[in-house]
Each structure stands twice: as structure tokens, then as C-alpha cells.
Amino acid sequence: MSLLDKYYTEEHHIFREAVRRYFEKEVTPFADQWEQDGIVPREAWKKFAAQGFLCPWILEQYGGVEADFLYSFILTEELAKTRCGGFFFPLHSDIVVPYISSFGTDEQKDRWLPGCVSGDIITAVAMTEPGTGSDLAAIRTTAVKDGDSYVINGQKTFISNGILCDLVIVAARTNLQAASPYEGMSLLVVEDGTPGFEKGRKLEKIGLHSQDTAEMAFVDCRVPAANLLGQEGQGFYYLMQKLQQERLVCAMGSQVGAEEALRATIDFTKTREAFGRPISRFQYISFELAKLATEVELGRAFLESLIIDHLEGRQDVKKASMAKYWICEMLNRVVAQCVQFHGGYGYMEEYPIARMFRDARVQTIYAGTSEIMLLIISRQLGL
């Protein structure tokens, strides 16, 4: 029995069936082609949005249906079954757009949120720089106030949705004289086509081939002061606030990824024979699969407890960091062993486990590395 069972309504189940049917028809058949192309086409985003699947939590006045967080979880669960981890709509729906919803002015919400729901606007967030990853305080991109504008200069890298994005939220230093680097950071919204905003090359990655990741450059990029998100100098604190949901979203994707990898491997070992019997009948393999199943089950219980906390408005930095750390690491342990049990076939691109293995690796890196999660947890323990 799932901890979430009492939270699911008939509407949730109907929604899941609609999502599943849509993915089976509109995503899974095209996943291999998108991997080869290195991008999910904009038309796929638009079709997806037309079903009401983008940002379903947004208020009705902006085009949403005010759905609860379980709808986002359902979408993440069903996405895992498509074998198309590069369709990065959770980044848009549950990580980037919430910044606009939470910190944007009424004018900004009216301007951008409807497009975020309809798929006319695809979003990204630009934090990482060539010399700055986990250490956000070391960001060097600047945004200097000049009359009723900000002039942005700097470089960003590893930006997910970086090629397709129509709008990017940029973390930049607006006060170089601030006593603390945390006090001088702000968030600015930059729209595609703004002079001085250049999308660089699409980066070639180990995995998530269908997900577009890019470099970005800002050279005397002038944006209206009205594009400041929230208050000047509060950007770092906004990032810290929203990173909790981002890490929960990462944990969600890793959990369902581990479940899907284990399911595919159990099915494979039941049909693959060696020495006259299915390899699942060998004690070593059956015991190891039992160990993996136990880890996956533990991850599911922990994740669901955090989703319940989230639904009920409870924020827990320590547990969110623990989930991001442990579940993402667990995914990598699971897929590595699952590849091994596929033998040579596990190294072949035609088998889904190969893609799962490649796509899983980044989960312990983005949204805060495992090492940063351990640092946060240790500080929460008073160490």
C-alpha cells in the first residue's frame, strides 16, 4: 500500500490514464528519433501543453487548473516509462516557472505565465558558470543598473532547455560592493531575441541526448528594470527557497527511474537463459535483485513521505537534501547492476537499460551535487 493512496482521488487516476495514453502515442514512438536529433522538437512541447500537462498547478486566471503537486508526480512517473528522459518539461513546470509565480509582479505574471502553460514560452534558469558550479556565491555575471534598465555581462553554461528556451531567469550580481556575496545577487528575466543575449553551442553530453543543454553569453545585454524578479539583492535567498522543490523533483525522477530499470531487468533475467535455465534462477542474481528491490522500496517510502510533507506545506531542508543525495545515488547503484545483469546486451543501445544507465549519471551532479547535499545535511545536524 502506498503512503499516497489516501491522497489520490478519482480525478488523479483519470489524469494518470490520460497522461499514459498520451505518452504511449506521442512520446514513446519518437523517443529514439529525438535522441538522434539531440532535441525534443518545439511541436512536441506544444502538443503536450495543449493537453493541459504543462504547469497544471498554475492559477486558472493564467491558464492553469490549480492542480496539486500529485499531478506533477504523476507526470514524472509516467515519463519514466517512455524512455525519454530528455523531455525536460519538469524543469519548466516545477522548477523554473515557480520562480515567476512566487516572486513575479502581477504584470510579470500576466505577461509570461499564460505562455508557460500554453507552451508558447519554454523556460530555463541560468545559474552555473564556466568557473562556478555549486558555489553560487562565486557567480561573476553582473547586472548593472542604468536608468530604467539593467545591463548584463557574463557567461553561463550547462543550461538545460538552453536552445529551446524563450525565457531564461539569470542569476547575476547587482551589487558588487555588498558586504556579503549572498546580499548582492538578483534574478533577472531575459527573453530570447534580446540584443546581447546569445545562445552558444548545444553541448554534447554522456546521456540525456534528446535534452538540449547549452552555453549562454550576455554581452552588454540590456533588459528593462521591470524584468527584475522580486527584490534586488534577494536572488540568492530566492534560489535557496526554490531549490528545495527542485531537489524533490530530482529525487522523484531518480526514484521512478530506478523502479523502471529494476522492472526491465527482472523481466530480462526471467527470459534470458544460461546453462539451461533463466538467469533469474541463479541464487547470486536473485539475491542481488532482492537487494536492489529493497533499496528501491526504501526510496519509494522516503520519497512519498516527503511528497506528503510538500502537499501539506511542510518544508524540510535536511530531508529534501537527504532525498536528493540518497535516491539519486541509489538510482546509479541500481542501473549499474542492472546493466551487469543484462551482460553484453546491457552495453547495446538497442536495449533500454543502456540509455537508463547514461541518463542516470547526471542525477548526482545537477541541482546540487551529492557532496553539497552531504554538506547541507551535516550542517543541519549541527556538525
CATH number of the domain enclosing 114 = 1.10.540.10
- 172-201 average pLDDT score: 92
Q: Are residues 310 and 247 in the same domain?
A: yes
What pLDDT is stored for residue 13 in this prediction? 97
Q: Are residues 205 and 337 in the same domain?
A: no
Residue that is last in its domain, among 97, 121, 145: 121
Phi-psi region of 137 (alpha: psi -120 to 50; beta: other; left: phi over 0): alpha
Residue that is last in its domain, among 180, 204, 232: 232
Residue for cell digits 558588487? 176
Segment 46-91, tens digit of pLDDT: 999 999 999 999 999 999 999 999 999 999 999 988 989 899 999 9
Q: Are residues 113 and 131 in the same domain?
A: no
Could you give the number of structural domains in the chain?
3
351 has a pLDDT exceeding 90: yes
Q: What is the span of the domain harbouring residue 343? A: 237-380
Q: Are residues 245 and 375 in the same domain?
A: yes
350 has a pLDDT exceeding 80: yes
Catalytic entry in 78, 246, 259, 260: 246
The enclosing domain of 285 has a CATH number of 1.20.140.10
What pLDDT is stored for residue 177 in this prediction? 85
Side chain identity, residue 269: T
132 has a pLDDT exceeding 90: no
Q: Are residues 349 and 275 in the same domain?
A: yes
What pLDDT is stored for residue 138 in this prediction? 83
- 329-334 average pLDDT score: 98
Q: Residue 54: name the closest of 11, 112, 104, 116 by CA.
A: 116
Q: What is the rounded distance in angstroms from the CA atom of residue 168 to the CA atom of residue 171? A: 10
Q: What percentage of residues in the chain have a pLDDT greater than 70?
A: 100
Q: Are residues 151 and 197 in the same domain?
A: yes
Q: Are residues 130 and 117 in the same domain?
A: no
What is the tally of helices (H) and strands (E) in the chain?
A: 12, 10
Q: Are residues 172 and 275 in the same domain?
A: no
Question: If you average pLDDT over every residue of the chain, what do you get?
Answer: 96
The three cell numbers of residue 133 are: 558550479
Q: What is the rounded distance in angstroms from the CA atom of residue 286 to the CA atom of residue 288? A: 6
The enclosing domain of 167 has a CATH number of 2.40.110.10
Residue that is last in its domain, among 101, 121, 141: 121
Is 22 in a helix, a strand, or coil?
A: helix
Q: Are residues 56 and 177 in the same domain?
A: no
pTM over 0.85: yes
Q: What percentage of residues in the chain have a pLDDT greater than 90?
A: 93
Q: Are residues 67 and 136 in the same domain?
A: no
Q: Are residues 149 and 108 in the same domain?
A: no
Residue 137: band (very low, low, confident or very high) from pLDDT cuts 50, 70, 90: confident
Q: Are residues 200 and 305 in the same domain?
A: no
What pLDDT is stored for residue 113 in this prediction? 98
Residue 143: band (very low, low, confident or very high) from pLDDT cuts 50, 70, 90: very high
135 has a pLDDT exceeding 90: no
The reply to whether 246 belongs to the active site is yes
109 has a pLDDT exceeding 90: yes
